[in-house]
């Protein structure tokens, strides 16, 4: 097997899964539904196939996803390196996003698989299954499981649905395709309880999340042309409301939905002195992945993020200026009329 293949086939991935016995599955820091869902889904499929599997995440299991079958298998990485045949990184655009603890825990494992849907992924695995056209890593995992004839137990079934539902805005974002709905239909035929899963995913938030939304709305600002909306979470607010990392998940869609807004931005002050920026675009002419790349970040054309070691007010000024430059450039490009966005959210 050659090192760092750009794109692996399902069969090449399947050869590794069949050949080796022990696997460690990882996902990115501050995990979302696609990250945790993909881990649980592939992990339980491999376990049902007779493999030894561990599921590590730097930050552990988010409270909001504790309802998932098999969620108790998500563990924070141990202090000492583990012994395993293969590491599988899921839904993680760059290796550092896995976290220092996870990277140390798997530092003695030589074989790496990288399964993801971020266009900015640099193919850091020994084998890389990267599909930027896919709306979620969960959909890639589903296709892999079906193609290889792996078992699809209840834990895998439910986790796949939540992975894809959360990363498509409940099947609303432009990247959602007929394949996405076909997958959901197949999972329902396999016994998936849509009502219960949707209720647990979308209608079961702690009160502090609503208090956070109120605080964020008080910081909301619009650009002069009304095309950019942004709000800010300060560290003092995080401490006052005793927030968890996942409490802000999906809230950016509130300001993305404002009529006339094309780019929504969530600025966040982190306790370690860093700043975090999340961006959403409605139109791929305003490619927020390219904006993120200017500051060492990445993601998708319609959804991207940045982490910077800089004072938040400075970060805001620099990022908003970069977004405005891209908007102004798109306005001036009369030869490139607006087209419906087709990349992931």
User: What are the start and end residues of each CATH 3.90.1640.10 domain in the chain?
Assistant: 10-202
Tell me where in the chain the CATH 3.10.310.30 domain(s) lie: 207-332
State the pLDDT at residue 342: 34
- Residue of 342 and 43 predicted with greater confidence: 43
Class of 207-332 per CATH? Answer: alpha beta
Output phi, psi for 79, to 5 deg: -70, -30
Cβ of 239: how many Cβ atoms within 10 Å? 10
Q: At what angle do helices 33-48 and 137-148 cross, to 10 degrees?
A: 20
334 has pLDDT over 80: no
Helix 154-167 to helix 194-202 angle, to the nearest 10 degrees?
A: 50
Q: Is the pLDDT of residue 14 over 50?
A: yes
As given in the structure block, the two tokens for residue 333 are 């490009």
Q: What share of the chain is helix, strand, coil (3-state, %, to 5)?
A: 40, 15, 40
Domain 10-202: CATH class, spelled out: alpha beta
The reported pLDDT for the residue numbered 340 is 37
Average per-residue pLDDT for the chain: 93
pLDDT at 333 (0 to 100): 64
Which of the 8 DSSP states describes residue 266? E
Average pLDDT over residues 29-42: 97
SS3 48: helix
- Minimum mean pLDDT range among 81-85, 133-137, 201-205, 327-331: 327-331
Q: What is the pLDDT of residue 6?
A: 62
Statement: residue 338 has pLDDT above 60: no
- pLDDT tens, 236-257? 999 999 999 899 999 999 999 9
Helix (H, G, I), strand (E, B) or coil at 96: helix
Joined together, the tokens standing for residue 8 give 């692996």
Please write the tens of the pLDDT for every residue from 261-298. Answer: 999 999 999 988 899 999 999 998 999 999 999 999 99
Q: Give 90 or 333, the one with higher predicted confidence.
A: 90
Give the residue from 68, 38, 67, 69 showing the smallest Cα distance to 55: 38
pLDDT in tens, 99-148: 999 999 999 999 999 999 998 899 999 999 999 999 999 999 999 999 99
φ and ψ of 165, to 5 deg: -60, -45
Question: Using 50, 70 and 90 to split pLDDT, how confident is the model at 2?
Answer: very low
Nearest of 330, 43, 311 to residue 158 by alpha carbon = 43
Q: At how many degrees (to 10) do helices 154-167 and 137-148 cross?
A: 150
Tokens read off for 57: 């995440």
């Amino acid at each position: 097997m050659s090192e760092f293949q750009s794109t692996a086939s399902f069969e090449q991935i399947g050869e590794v899964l069949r050949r080796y016995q022990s696997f460690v599955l990882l996902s990115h820091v501050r995990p979302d539904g696609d990250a945790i869902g993909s881990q649980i889904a592939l992990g339980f499929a491999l376990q049902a196939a007779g493999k030894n599997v561990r599921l590590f995440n730097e930050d552990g299991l988010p409270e909001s996803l504790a309802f998932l079958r098999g969620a108790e298998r998500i563990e924070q990485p141990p202090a000492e390196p583990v012994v395993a045949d293969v590491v599988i990184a899921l839904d993680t655009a760059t290796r550092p996003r896995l976290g220092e603890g996870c990277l140390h825990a798997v530092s003695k494992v030589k074989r790496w698989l990288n399964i993801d849907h971020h266009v900015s992924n640099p193919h850091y695995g020994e084998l890389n299954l990267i599909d930027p056209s896919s709306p979620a890593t969960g959909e890639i995992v589903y296709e892999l499981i079906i193609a290889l004839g792996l078992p699809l137990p209840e834990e895998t079934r439910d986790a796949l649905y939540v992975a894809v539902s959360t990363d498509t805005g409940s099947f609303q974002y432009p990247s959602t395709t007929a394949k996405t709905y076909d997958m959901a239909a197949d999972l329902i035929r396999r016994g998936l309880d849509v009502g219960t899963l949707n209720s647990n995913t979308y209608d079961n938030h702690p009160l502090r999340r609503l208090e956070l939304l109120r605080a964020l709305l008080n910081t909301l600002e619009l650009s002069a042309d009304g095309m950019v909306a942004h709000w800010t979470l300060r560290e003092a607010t995080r401490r006052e409301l005793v927030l968890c990392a996942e409490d802000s998940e999906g809230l950016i869609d509130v300001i993305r939905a404002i009529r006339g807004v094309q780019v929504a931005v969530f600025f966040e002050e982190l306790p370690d002195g860093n700043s975090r920026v999340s961006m959403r675009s409605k139109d791929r002419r305003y490619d927020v992945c390219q904006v993120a790349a200017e500051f060492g970040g990445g993601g998708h054309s319609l959804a991207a993020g940045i982490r910077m070691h800089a004072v938040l007010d400075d970060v805001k000024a620099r990022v908003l200026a970069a977004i405005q430059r891209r908007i102004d450039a798109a306005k001036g490009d009369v030869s490139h009329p607006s087209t419906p966005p087709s990349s992931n959210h």
